[in-house]
Amino acid sequence: MQLVESGGGLVQPGGSLRLSCEGSGFTFRTYWMNWVRQAPGQGLEWVANIKEDGSETHYVDSVKGRFTVSRDNTKNSLSLQMNSLRAEDTAVYFCARDYARTLGNGRHYYMDVWGKGTTVTVSS
């Protein structure tokens, strides 16, 4: 099982960038997928996720209206379109698979497979 991110780079404030994440070794279309980021020297921040069929998405407040998560299950691909980028969006961006498991008290989701990350730098 593997996730590989791509698309990172240097972009000016206010610019746009599109990240991709390609999955292999598992049935991509049957999993929720996530984006998580880590600013330099900082902790982890969950950014967004998307349902198996793409019909439902969720975002952290700081990126709502600027970032859009999408997927193409025919290509085992996850994307993050990032617009109106700010300096504070500078980070390593990871994609991660959500594994779902039903336990005694309900359905649990946990991020069990991660990519190595792609670096986004927003600077003039």
Q: Which stretch binds another protein (CB under 8 A): 6-14, 21-29, 38-46, 72-80?
A: 38-46
Backbone angles phi, psi at 6, to 5 degrees: -155, 170
Q: Which stretch binds another protein (CB under 8 A): 15-23, 70-78, 79-87, 112-120?
A: 112-120
**Which of 6, 70, 110, 123 lies at the binding interface for another protein (CB under 8 A)?**
110
Q: Which residues pair with 17 in a beta bridge?
A: 82
Q: Which residues contact 53 (CB under 8 A, 6 or more apart)?
A: 29, 73
Report how far residue 51's alpha carbon sits from residue 68's, in angstroms, rounded to the nearest whole number.
Answer: 13
For another protein, which residue of 11, 49, 80, 85 counts as binding (CB under 8 A)?
49
CB 97 within 8 A of CB 31: yes
**Which one, of 111, 65, 110, 82, lies nearest residue 11 by Cα?**
82
Contact 8, 18 (CB under 8 A): no
Annotate each residue in 64-93 with x if it binds another protein (CB under 8 A) or - if it does not, as one string: ------------------------------
**Residues 5-34 as x/- pattern, contact with another protein by CB under 8 A:** -----------------------------x
Where does this chain bind another protein (CB under 8 A)? 34, 36, 43-46, 49, 58, 60-61, 94, 96, 101, 103, 105-106, 108-112, 114-117
